[in-house]
């Protein structure tokens, strides 16, 4: 599955689909895929071996860096938006991401 083609459509559906059921499904998919990508990135850093391996691995861009960079604005708008589901899913996620990345 190529996420480059899938995620922009999911993000658009999560933010602006007129049908609530479609927005809910898109939000849940976006949330799950985001957690998966972040988990894969974290696993890569933890799996780095040797002295200084973790710092080197953390400094290098990952295969998901570009995708996540494009998703952060969408997740922020969902976390601060008017839909309660978006706030419930993405509010704590954004808070955790900010804490983890700083």
Which residue would you say has higher pLDDT here, 61 or 71? 71
pTM (2 d.p.): 0.80
43-61 pLDDT tens trace: 766 665 556 555 555 566 7
CB of 67 closer than 8 Å to CB of 4: yes
Nearest partner of 81 among 32, 35, 38, 30, judged by Cα = 30
CB of 77 closer than 8 Å to CB of 15: yes
- pLDDT of amino acid 57: 52
Q: Sort 24 into a burial class: Cβ within 10 Å, 0-12 / 13-18 / 19+.
A: middle
């Amino acid at each position: 599955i190529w996420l480059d083609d899938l995620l922009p459509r999911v993000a658009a559906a999560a933010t602006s689909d007129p049908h609530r059921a479609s927005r809910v499904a898109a939000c849940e998919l976006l949330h799950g895929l985001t957690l998966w990508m972040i988990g894969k990135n974290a696993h890569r850093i933890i799996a780095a071996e040797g002295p200084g391996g973790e710092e080197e691995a953390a400094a290098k861009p990952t295969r998901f860096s570009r995708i996540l960079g494009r998703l952060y604005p969408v997740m922020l708008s969902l976390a601060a938006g008017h839909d309660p589901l978006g706030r419930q899913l993405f509010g704590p996620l954004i808070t955790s991401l900010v804490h983890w990345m700083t």
